[in-house]
Each structure stands twice: as structure tokens, then as C-alpha cells.
Amino acid sequence: MGMIDSLEMEQYICSHIDKEPELLYELDRFTHTKVLAPRMLSGHLQGMLLKMLVRMANPSHILEIGTFTGYSALSMAEGLLKDDAHIHTIEIDDELEPKIRSFFERSLHSNKLHLHIGDAMEIIDSLEGDFDFCFMDGNKRDYPAYYDKVMSRLVCGGYILADNVLWDGKILQPVHRNDTQTKAIMEFNDIVASDDRVEKVILPIRDGLTLIRKKSL
């Protein structure tokens, strides 16, 4: 059996799942033509997974660390079932704010989306209440700190979904002493693996997703 082309496989998968909503398709095209590092976008497959997980978990209070251009937040909003559910999403890059807001305002779920610009660690402290779902996709150097912060605010039975945990396979290679991002991802993976407070599974989708559930007391 020959090698399977990963792009061809993703195209096959995307042709056999729910169609990408028009607004998200437009955001995908905008990101790939106008924004640096477009591969940071969640995209069709991961977006549909986020929507499905939100449907299954049925959360009321979602936290997202790392909005980028807003694709993942809009995908999760598509999955919200409760009328009073909402998403707080945090982005460090203020230059992205106008475009993020422009797409959020066009969403049918715009009233449930709350964008915050600034440092995630500070903004999380300013938010009221606990979270029952968190999508972690911010600065990789801060993953261990994010995890500690979010776990202290996550309800029992709540979920964390952490992106990029396989980090292009760098977690299996010798790490350069100045590669702080890879070191932090590896530290995060080790912390989660040894944390008895949670159930966890790594999904080898795109750059790796760890699905974490906080156990009940």
C-alpha cells in the first residue's frame, strides 16, 4: 500500500462531513489571503469537531484562549444549545480585533460571543464565574500556566480541549535549548498525563488535540 497524501485525506474527510457554513468559508478565505500564519486557523474539520464537542458537552460558559481570526469561536457558537450560553474568547493581537468583530457581528450567535483583547492570564482573572468548557490555543509557552489557571476555574465534569499538543512532531525530537515553545508543550503534555484529577485522550487530528475532562469529586 502506497503513502497516503495527508491533504488528499483531509479533502476526502471534509467532503463527507457537514458542509462548512458560508460565513466560516468566507473567514477561511480571508485568513488565507490576508493574514500572516493562516495555518493557525482551525479550519473546516477542526471547526466541525469543536461544534460537535460543544453540542455533546452542552456548556453554559465557554472560555477560549487564542481567538486568532475567530473561526474556532464561531464554530463553537454554532454548537451552543442553551439560550443563555456564552463564549469569552481572548486574543493578544489587537491588530486582528476589527476583523474579528466584523465577522462576529455577522454571526447569528453574535450576542453570545464576547471578545477580549489582551493578556489571557490577566483577563481570565477579570471574568466572573466558572467555566465548563475551554478551548486552549494561545501562546504555547504559557500552556502550563494556562492549564493551572483554567483548572482552578473549571467545574467538575467540565472539559478542556488543547490544540497543537503534537507540535509538528517536535515533541519526539531532540529539543534545542532555546526552543521554549516545544519545551512548554512537552511540559504541558507531561503535566496532563500525570494529573489524577482528569481523564484525558490525545486525538491525532491536524497538529494534535488533547481532550481533558475534570473528574467529579
DSSP-derived secondary structure letter, 84: T
- The predicted model gives 162-183 an average pLDDT of 92
- Residue 58 in this model has a pLDDT that exceeds 80: yes
pLDDT for 3: 60
- The predicted model gives 9-16 an average pLDDT of 92
All three cell numbers of 40? 493557525
Q: By CB neighbour count within 10 A (0-12 exposed, 13-18 middle, 19+ buried), where does 78 fall?
A: buried
DSSP-derived secondary structure letter, 205: S
pLDDT for 38: 87
Strand pairing partners for 136?
Answer: 65, 162
All three cell numbers of 175? 529539543
Give the pLDDT band of residue 146 (cuts 50, 70, 90): very high
pLDDT for 151: 98
- Residue 204 in this model has a pLDDT that exceeds 90: yes
Nearest Cα residue to 162 out of 193, 216, 208, 206: 208
| Cα–Cα distance for residue pair 26/37, rounded to 1 Å | 17
Strand pairing partners for 202?
Answer: 210
Q: Where are the alpha helices (DSSP H) in the chain?
A: 6-14, 22-34, 43-57, 71-79, 97-106, 120-126, 143-151, 180-193
Collapsed DSSP state (helix, strand, coil) of residue 62: strand
Residues in contact with 64: Cβ distance below 8 Å, sequence separation at least 6, in sequence order: 72, 73, 76, 87, 88, 89, 90, 134, 135, 137
Which is more confident, 85 or 39?
85
Give the strand pairing for 61-65 and 131-136. parallel
Domains and CATH numbers, the chain: 6-214 (3.40.50.150)
Distance of CA 195 to CAs 39, 90, 159, Å? Answer: 30, 26, 14
**Which residue is it, cell 488533547?**
210
Give the pLDDT band of residue 10 (cuts 50, 70, 90): confident
pLDDT for 79: 98
For residue range 22-40, list pLDDT tens digits in order: 999 999 999 999 998 888 8
Work out the mean pLDDT of the chain and round it to a whole number.
95
Q: Where are the alpha helices (DSSP H) in 68-167?
A: 71-79, 97-106, 120-126, 143-151
For residue range 91-110, list pLDDT tens digits in order: 999 999 999 999 999 999 99
- Residue 54 in this model has a pLDDT that exceeds 90: yes
Give the number of other Cβ atoms within 10 Å of residue 125's Cβ: 10
pLDDT for 145: 98
Give the pLDDT band of residue 2 (cuts 50, 70, 90): low
Which is more confident, 65 or 2?
65
For residue range 110-120, list pLDDT tens digits in order: 999 999 999 99
